[in-house]
Structure 1
Amino acid sequence: MNRHLPALLIAVMLAAGALGFGLYHWLNPGSDPLPAEASGGTLAETMPEFSMPDPDGEERHSSEWDGDILVVNFWGTWCAPCREEVPLLIEMQENYGDQGLTVLGIALDQVEPVQRFADDFGINYPLLVGEQETLAVMESFGSGTVGMPHTFVVDRDGRIVNFHVGLIEEHEVEALLAPALRNEAGSDS
């Protein structure tokens, strides 16, 4: 049996889910991101602790980003909407990074294509990569969705404050980040 077959099957299932989600949004323009209850799972209230390798093979731990506003984006190089979304994530990192926001890309993929893609696109945010590891982290977030990409927003206190399935559009960025930024403004007193 081909050792890449399980990863290929997962990729095909996720791509089919992403295609279905994209078709839904194409047929229903202006629809809001899915609420937490619609994720297909029970979302965690706080960001789970996890460790995964980066593309260089260095083990990274979620606690490295404690105190940051996190945009945790699950994606893959094989996923067309994921690839389309990357320039916006790069821009989010550029525009909000000095405010303590970190985009964290977690790829359901293999190291080589992720590294090539990151180099080609000039990704300016940390990446983690794995296959079964990524699926386990997705599950620990409570994501029961098969759509890719999907994104969680985590505030500085580690609370998951927003969830979005599918391609993030530029006009959705402020609404996506608003709960974390609102918590930020409320804690400045």
Structure 2
Amino acid sequence: MSTPIDPDPHQPAGGIPSVQSAQPVSRRGWMMAGVGTAAAVAGAGFAWWRLQPHDVLDGVEASFWNASMETLDGATLTMRKFHGRPLLLNFWATWCPPCVDELPLLNSFYGAHTGKGFQVLGLAIDQPAAVRKFLDRMPLDFPIALAGLTGTDLGRALGNDVGGLPFSVLFGKDGNILRRKMGQLTDKDLAQWSSEV
């Protein structure tokens, strides 16, 4: 025995669907959509602003060139050693996926440009044991210094107010800052930066 099907109350008896009139959007609906759009745009603008490098503190370039940091083998690495040639300074950490993703790109860039006088220095904002373990798995050709909390302070002085990683700074031959970028570097960034020094 079959069970009868209840007819659709919105469908006329002949089986042809009825066309219901669309309700016009109310003024309040339009206003709510406008408010929502404005909030989305404002939020995106704030996020963009927040991720842009901000002003560099006065005197930070001079203090950077007079600073020194420890290497993985316990030696002292003076920043003065890098003065006089272009330097790409990269703040990174082993727990930062975009940092880890860009390291092979930086390593390739270093290999291709070191003969042209270009330098790369990685400042690890991380625990020494974690950095050693990471570099055992992914060796890098460019030097790495252990920056720790000093590196976070240096990054902020260089305009990284939010302390985000990765953060990169390009210094010219004269030691002045030419470029900065919050976030992962791309081939295009590196090509442009290397053409500017």
Q: Which runs of 5+ in 1 are unaligned?
A: 1-27, 29-33, 181-189
Q: Which runs of 5+ in 2 are unaligned?
A: 1-43
Provide, for residues 165-186 of structure 1, a one-character-per-residue CA deviation record: whole Å limited to 9, x for no partner: 1111223211133322xxxxxx
Whole-Å Cα distance in 1 between the matches of residues 112 and 146 of structure 2?
Answer: 24
1:59 aligns with 2:76: yes
Residue 152 of structure 1 aligns with an amino acid whose one-letter code is V
Residue 46 of structure 1 aligns with an amino acid whose one-letter code is E
Q: 2:109 aligns with which of 78, 92, 96?
A: 92
Whole-Å Cα distance in 1 between the matches of residues 128 and 173 of structure 2?
Answer: 29
Deviation of 1:101 (Å) = 0.9
Kept in 2, the 8 Å contact 1:73–1:151? The answer is: yes
Runs of 4+ residues deviating >6 angstroms? none
Deviation of 1:131 (Å) = 1.8
Provide, for residues 27-48 of structure 1, a one-character-per-residue CA deviation record: whole Å limited to 9, x for no partner: x9xxxxx89x931343667362
1:155 matched residue in structure 2 = 172
Greater relative contact order, per chain length (Cα 8 Å cut-off, separation 6+): 1
Whole-Å Cα distance in 2 between the matches of residues 91 and 172 of structure 1?
Answer: 14
Q: What is the SS of the residue equivalent to 2:185?
A: coil
Provide, for residues 93-115 of structure 1, a one-character-per-residue CA deviation record: whole Å limited to 9, x for no partner: 10000011111000100111112
Whole-Å Cα distance in 2 between the matches of residues 140 and 62 of structure 1?
Answer: 16
Q: What is the SS of the residue equivalent to 1:39?
A: coil
More helix by percentage:
1
Kept in 1, the 8 Å contact 2:91–2:166? The answer is: yes
Provide, for residues 50-81 of structure 1, a one-character-per-residue CA deviation record: whole Å limited to 9, x for no partner: 11101111111100111121000000000000
- Alignment TM-score, normalising by the size of structure 2: 0.67
Bigger Rg, which one = 2
Q: What is the SS of the residue equivalent to 1:71?
A: strand
Whole-Å Cα distance in 2 between the matches of residues 132 and 99 of structure 1?
Answer: 32
Tell me how many residue pairs correspond in the alignment.
147
1:46 matched residue in structure 2 = 61
Q: 1:77 aligns with which of 86, 94, 105?
A: 94
Whole-Å Cα distance in 1 between the matches of residues 78 and 154 of structure 2?
Answer: 12
Q: 1:68 aligns with which of 74, 85, 96?
A: 85
1:131 aligns with 2:148: yes
140-149 vs 156-165, which deviates more?
140-149
1:103 aligns with 2:117: no
Q: Superposed, which structure 2 residues align to 1:25-36 within 5 Å? A: none
